[in-house]
Amino acid sequence: MKLNQYAVYRVDQTSSGKDLWRLPYDMVQKKKLQIRIEFYRQQRIEKVSADDTAITIWNRRKDSFEVSDVLVLNKEGELTTYYISEDYLTPIEGFIRMNSSGALISMDTVDYHLENRKGSWMATDYIIIDGKQFFLLEHTEYRDKVPAVVLDAYGKIMADNVKNGFDDAVKQQIRDQIRPQEQTKLTPQKQQLQRLEIWQKYYQNGEWLRQAESGGEANYDMVDGRVNNLPKQPEKTKAKKRKKKESVIGKLHKKQIEIAIRSGKPIPKYLEQNRELNKR
């Protein structure tokens, strides 16, 4: 079962994005201000039903929103973001970006060359599904006159011959590749472990989806990589017998006895006593 939830972000007035505070979207565009997550702080995160949309959430909680807030909606693993003005919502892009290590594709990608295809390609749109970012690339010269292609951040083709952007058919093609049919054959226990591994990666990367685990925990401080705080199974380890270490003084006395024996000199009484004690 997928988690449906939304989060609200509010301008951090101590950040360099303080000029966004309570500005409607048309003024943001006029002033050419950037809307970036670094300029915001998360206010809350709540679960919603599968039937909820950004509009229904906004209408229901309108009194608690401020102009310039950003609403981030996670529906079945797909993220969408909206800038809140006084009486309307505006879909925005680029608020949340997944900065994957080793990624080849980003929204800044231009002059990209695809195998067995003529010309160069450029990123014109993106979508986030299940915590992964996918990019729509159009031909640099012909743009929408030729079909586009969708790649993941590492250059793998996720959907080809794309004519209508990220429509439902393209989204389904992406989902079919990131959640192959073999997954349905997994036992519920293995599926739970697989989901846990995914959320643990989000937690380590510090992305917004890290918060998703908190929706199933009693408190945010219980976001610890264990579903519903189940105790970890104790690891089986073989008991090892600790080897007694010889002291530095003992090694010194042993060396002094060896020297005395080699030189034919009598062993000092205190060393002889220590040797007898060590034999017991």
Alpha carbon 259 to its chain centroid, in Å, reads: 65
For the chain, give the percent of residues with pLDDT over 90.
54
Mean pLDDT over 232-250 rounds to 58
pLDDT category at 156 given cuts 50, 70, 90 is very high
Rounded Cα distance between 92 and 56, Å, is 18
pLDDT at 133 (0 to 100): 93
What is the Cα–Cα distance from 17 to 34, expressed in whole angstroms? 8
The pLDDT value recorded for residue 104 is 87
The predicted pLDDT at position 188 comes to: 62
Strands (DSSP E) contained in the chain are 5-11, 40-47, 70-75, 78-84, 89-92, 121-129, 132-139, 148-152, 157-162
Band (212; pLDDT cuts 50, 70, 90):
very low
Give the C-alpha separation, 40 to 34, whole Å.
Answer: 12
Can you tell me the mean pLDDT for 233-261?
A: 64
What does pTM read for this prediction? Answer: 0.58
Tokens in use for 165? 């952007």
Instruction: Flag the least confident range among 5-19, 108-122, 181-195.
Output: 181-195
CA-nearest of 119, 156, 117 to 135 is: 156
Query: For the chain, which residues make up each domain, given as ranges?
Result: 5-92, 101-179, 185-229, 248-279
Q: Nearest-CA neighbor of 36 among 64, 4, 70, 77?
A: 70
